[in-house]
Amino acid sequence: MGGRTGVWLIGARGSVAVTSMAGAAAVRAGLVEPVGLVGETPALAGVGLTPLADLVFGGHDVVDTPVQKRAEQLVQTRVLPAALPAAVADGLRAAEAEIRQGAHRDDRTPQAETAARLADDLTSFRVRNELDRVVVVNVSSTEPPVSPRPEHADLPALRAALRTSPDVLPTSSLYAYAAFTAGCPFVDFTPSTGARLPALDALARQLRLPYAGSDGKTGETLVKSALAPMFAARALRVLSWSGTNLLGGGDGQTLADPAAAASKTASKQRNLAETLGHEVDGQTHIDYVPDLGDWKTAWDHVSFAGFLGVRMSLQFTWQGCDSALAAPLVLDLARLTARAHRAGEVGPLGALAFFFKDPVGTTEHRLAAQFDQLCAWAAGLPA
């Protein structure tokens, strides 16, 4: 089965990370059913994922609120059941003990130095806990959009720049760089740049490491990827697809920024066009509504033409808890990426597109097709 696997979370004291840790502990203690964990379904049985009981958690963060305290806050916002933090106190304490100081965005230290420190944390975590491998998963806050630089496309130039520059890489990419240099696969769960730079792709390939991303598919886009293929298969012509996302959580503030929103909207309409085979009108709004807390509501309106051009419409409203939607995917992705690493997979893991809004390594956005590819890929991995 491949021994114990480390799950190193960037943003380890955030809502998603703590829900992942607490949830993994609760499921392995039999306190709750493994709802939301694709890795526990018959579809992925027998593919050799690390058992939940053999996952060990650690991570980086720049905030100080300990994991236990954050778990209590998650009870207040109705993400965690009231009795859970006490019931999994040991697991939370163990994870908290493995959290190290992360990289600060405004740190003026040359990034090579910071990367070395981060990589040391990873290596030391692996050795100390006798882990077969460590998968790094970025669940920290979304970064503002980043301007391209020539070094991003050229590994030697990047290495040179890192030695002197404090900001040639956005923080998410610095973590990916550190992960790769420590021999760890990397998963981008956020829309930040992360490993999605040609220079980092080159590094991953050089070091024979797989990576996955980007941007966990937990709500509106999930439903969209289930519904858009319906219109395509039935030859119904989508005329417009408009959406509004109301988010209260930490990311709401970043994502509601017009520039960030514009880039997300463009990406969403592009994905849609890839599924439908033609451009589609419409915008996607992301509104920061603080009172919603960890909850989010999305409304989508699809206008389409049927036979003889008759206009019809479909609307949906999705109401969910962001952390509870994201956390099981984090566990699934850590286990699947560890499995890919064990099997010797290298570069972007297109087979994990099922979990992402903007999948690397594929242009397949149809949910059912992504699921079929995931299952086929997992079943075909060499032991």
By CB under 8 A, tell whether 246 contacts a second copy.
yes
Of 202, 141, 214, 142, the closest CA to residue 177 belongs to 202
Which of 53-61, 111-119, 171-179, 305-313 is the region at the interface with a second copy (rule: CB under 8 A)? 305-313
CB of 74 to a second copy, least distance (A): 10
Does residue 52 bind a second copy (CB under 8 A)?
no
Task: Select from 299, 343, 346, 347 the one that contacts a second copy (CB under 8 A).
Answer: 299
Q: Which of residues 8-47 bind a second copy (CB under 8 A)?
A: 19, 22-23, 26, 32-38, 40-41, 43
Question: CB 215 → a second copy: shortest distance, Å?
Answer: 16
Does 129 participate in binding a second copy (rule CB under 8 A)? no
Q: What is Dmax (Cα atoms) for the chain?
A: 67
Identify which of residues 46 and 382 has a Cβ nearer to a second copy in the complex: 46
Instruction: For residue 137, give Cα distances in angstroms to 50, 173, 211, 273, 380.
Output: 16, 12, 10, 29, 24
Is 227 one of the binding residues for a second copy (CB under 8 A)?
Answer: yes
Count the residues of the shown chain that bind a second copy, applying the rule CB under 8 A: 79
- Residue 371 binds a second copy (CB under 8 A): yes
289 makes contact with a second copy (CB under 8 A): yes
Residue selected from 87, 89, 153, 223 as contacting a second copy according to rule CB under 8 A: 223
Q: Which of 316, 346, 362, 381 binds a second copy (CB under 8 A)?
A: 316
Interface mask toward a second copy for 76-95; x: CB under 8 A = x-xxxxx-x-----------
Give 221 or 337: the residue with its C-beta nearer to a second copy.
221
Q: Residues 340, 346, 350, 355: is their CA dihedral positive or negative? A: positive
- Of 153 and 239, which has the nearer Cβ to a second copy? 239
* Residue type (1 letter), 90: D
Q: Compute the least distance from the CB of residue 152 to a second copy, in Å.
A: 30
Exactly one of 161, 352, 367, 378 binds a second copy (CB under 8 A); which one?
367
Can residue 310 be called a binding residue for a second copy (CB under 8 A)?
yes
Q: Which of residues 89, 207, 369, 381 is near a second copy by CB under 8 A?
A: 369
Least distance between a second copy and beta carbon 283 (Å): 5
Secondary structure of the chain in HEC code, one letter for each residue? CCCCEEEEEECCCCHHHHHHHHHHHHHHCCCCCCCCCHHHCHHHCCCCCCCHHHEEEEEEECCCCCHHHHHHHHHHCCCCCCCHHHHCHHHHHHHHHCEEECCCCCCCCCHHHHHHHHHHHHHHHHHHCCCCEEEEEECCCCCCCCCCCHHHHCHHHHHHHHHHCCCCCCHHHHHHHHHHHCCCCEEECCCCCCCCCHHHHHHHHHCCCEEECCCECCCHHHHHHHHHHHHHHCCCEEEEEEEEEEECCHHHHHHCCHHHHHHHHHHHHHHHHHHHCCCCECCEEEEECHHHCCEEEEEEEEEEECHHHCEEEEEEEEEEEHHHHHHHHHHHHHHHHHHHHHCCCCEECHHHHHHECCCCCCCCCCHHHHHHHHHHHHHHCCC
What residues from 255 to 284 belong to the interface with a second copy (CB under 8 A)? Answer: 281-283
Q: Which is nearer to a second copy, 48 or 81 (CB)?
A: 81
Q: Which one among 306, 363, 379, 380 touches a second copy, defined by CB under 8 A?
A: 306
Q: Is residue 292 at the binding interface for a second copy, with CB under 8 A as the rule?
A: yes
Please identify which residue in 87, 160, 207, 236 interacts with a second copy, judged by CB under 8 A: 236
Q: How far is the CB of 169 from a second copy (least distance, A)?
A: 32
